[in-house]
Amino acid sequence: MKNLREWFSTMTLGQTKLYIKLWLWCLFDSFVVSIPYAVLVMAVYVLLIPIASPGMALPTDRIWILMGILIAQFIAYLFVRKKSYLDFCIGFAGATKVSRIQMGEHLRKLSMGFFSNRDAGDLSTVLLRDYTEIETFAQQMLPQVATILVRFSIAVIVLSAFDVRMMAAVFIVIPLAFPFAFISMKKMEKEGALLQSSQQHTASGILEYVGGIRTLKAFNMAGEHFETLKNTLDTQRKAAISIETRAAAPVSMIGRFILNCGIGLVMLVGSGLMVTGKLQVFYYIAFLLLTLTIYDPVLLLFTFIADLTRTTRSGKRIRALFEEKPLPENNVGRKPSGTAIEFKDVSFGYGNKEVLHHIDLSFTEKSVTALVGPSGSGKSTITRLIARFWDSDSGEICMGGVPVWDLTTEELLGNISMVFQDVYLFKDTIEANIRMGRSDATHEEVVEAAKKAACHDFIMALPDGYDTMVGEGGSTLSGGEKQRISIARALLKDAPVILLDEATSSLDPENEVLIQQAISELVRDKTVIVIAHRLRSVSNADQIVVLKDGSIAEKGDHESLLKMGGIYAGLWNEQSHAGSWQIK
């Protein structure tokens, strides 16, 4: 019973009460819709009375009663169908909408480690295809079950009153057809897993191909990689065909054949009973009429049963996402006292590989600290831990004297602006992308931030100015333009802590000068942590921390580190020599 409740909760996206309410409306709606079938049977009976009993007059009073029932049914139908249709469409769509919003809120609270280890195609399959599967199940399966229950109930009552033997002839074939539905369901379980896996690979392949098209073209491999994507699409096509031919066929063909045999059985039994005078013509006609209305929804139900494994798998994948543990929040309501940041014996690893070892480090309020060192030394990891993209494995990270896990996500990230090396802009207007820094900012404030970030002039040169649509990821802008817009976004937010991760790397000299000017505006009177490979850009920092293999190797200002003659001095000399390099 517990497993059944869990299954139903999964298939209703956790909104069981709403689905039961909608399903009861479906039952009532199906009852109202089925009334004309019962009236039709009674009308045939009334019209055949003079034939079955010669000399008896046609009971017109009964005809008028039946007409009155049809008029009442029509009025009830207008009300019930409108109510059930609106509730049905809005209810199921609303349930899916609520669940998707809840999923968005849930994903927002997960650590970056979850997204690093999860394939983007897999996530998109869950958020799009799996939700669609559940919604289709709700909109088609539940009403069909309601229709079958109502028609079965009416048929059993009416047919039993006429003739039990004929009723047995109608229903005896239905249990015989059910085994094929469950055989199909078992086959669906295997074939459905293959189809779902191929759909996920296809989604991942499309995202990878489109995202990497520039690199593929640069190395003249777009055609070769498209063949790989084409093979993935072909695998999905074969899986889709297989699920129809190997799994759906037992229901659609054999199930239909058995139910058609049921019609023949009703005709055969009815004819035999009529010949022997044990069944009136009226009853025979009534059974033929009702048999047709019973078998069609049963056949459709068999198809849904066969598809049930695929839908159940979609529900389980959605549920599994909800069961992913978010970063815990203590919600103690503490407020940081200032923006000084401190690492106290902090260690952290990705999986089983530890990348930071017992870090003790202080970032003084309204100071500039530069993190330098070889790639993979842990520089970016430190900034990610400050923003709490992950939680440290041990030790404590504090902002303003308060551990970061005692701050709400909104409180912590509200105090931080981040400018990364790889800027991502959303498919929206330039103004909307800048306004992500502060959603309630006025247009004038957006323009002011853009001017400080040295991007106002190029924005105004675009066809629609600040209303110009940006391609997904910022594909319609250059690297320097995207970087300046990201700085404008951070300027608009005006957070007291700034995290800069290689913000000026890989830029041409003109853009680098403009971005350095923008950064100078951004970091004024802020607590700044900057990651840089170009040591000249951070030589004026209040504190320079040299990292190596996840540990602090050196710490001090530029002059003191040069005097040490250690790692920093070596890096400085290497870059000084590299600055004079030229192609010969």
Question: Per-residue confidence at 579, pLDDT binned at 50, 70, 90?
Answer: low
Residue 567 domain-assigned?
A: no
Q: Which residue has the higher pLDDT, 495 or 10?
A: 495
Q: Which residue has the higher pLDDT, 41 or 503?
A: 41
- Domain tally, the chain: 1
Q: What is the mean pLDDT of residues 237-249?
A: 70
Question: Per-residue confidence at 398, pLDDT binned at 50, 70, 90?
Answer: very high
Which runs of E-coded beta strand occur in 435-550? 497-501, 527-531, 543-548
Structural contact between residues 545 and 369, judged by C-beta atoms closer than 8 angstroms:
yes
Structural contact between residues 360 and 345, judged by C-beta atoms closer than 8 angstroms:
yes
Q: What is the mean pLDDT of residues 483-500?
A: 87
- Rounded to 5°, the CA angle 566-568-573 comes to 95
Residue 452 domain-assigned?
A: no
Helix (H) or strand (E) holding 132: helix 131-136
Q: Which residue has the higher pLDDT, 346 or 194?
A: 346
Residue 347 is predicted with a pLDDT of 93
Report the C-alpha gap between 312 and 328 in whole angstroms.
Answer: 30
Residue 85 domain-assigned?
A: yes
- Label the pairing between strands 543-548 and 551-556: antiparallel
Where would I find the H helices in 323-452?
379-386, 409-414, 430-435, 443-452
Comparing 441-450, 492-501, 533-542, which segment has the lowest mean pLDDT? 533-542
Give the pLDDT confidence of 288-322 residue by residue, as tens digits.
777 776 777 777 777 676 667 778 888 888 888 88
* 220 pLDDT more than 90: no
Percent of the chain with pLDDT over 90: 7
Residue 159 domain-assigned?
A: yes
Give the pLDDT confidence of 117-127 residue by residue, as tens digits.
776 667 777 88
Q: Which residue has the higher pLDDT, 272 or 476?
A: 272
Report the C-alpha gap between 51 and 436 in whole angstroms.
Answer: 81
* 227 pLDDT more than 60: yes
Give the pLDDT confidence of 37-74 residue by residue, as tens digits.
778 777 777 776 676 666 677 777 888 888 888 888 88
Residue 289 domain-assigned?
A: yes
Q: What is the mean pLDDT of residues 566-577?
A: 82
* 584 pLDDT more than 50: no
Q: Which of 472, 419, 431 is nearest to 455 (CA)?
A: 431
Give the pLDDT confidence of 74-122 residue by residue, as tens digits.
888 888 777 777 777 777 777 888 888 888 888 888 877 777 777 666 7
Q: Which residue has the higher pLDDT, 554 or 305?
A: 554
User: Please, what's the b/e burial string for 309-320 (b: 16 or more CB within 10 A of its CB; e: otherwise)?
Assistant: bbbbbbbebbee
Average pLDDT taken over every residue of the chain:
79
Question: Per-residue confidence at 378, pLDDT binned at 50, 70, 90?
Answer: confident
Residue 362 is predicted with a pLDDT of 92
Question: Per-residue confidence at 582, pLDDT binned at 50, 70, 90?
Answer: very low
Q: How many CB atoms lie within 10 A of CB 546?
A: 24
Residue 282 domain-assigned?
A: yes
Residue 433 domain-assigned?
A: no
Residue 348 domain-assigned?
A: no
CATH code, domain with 227: 1.20.1560.10
Residue 583 is predicted with a pLDDT of 47
pTM of the model: 0.67
What residue numbers bound the domain in which 292 lies? Answer: 15-322
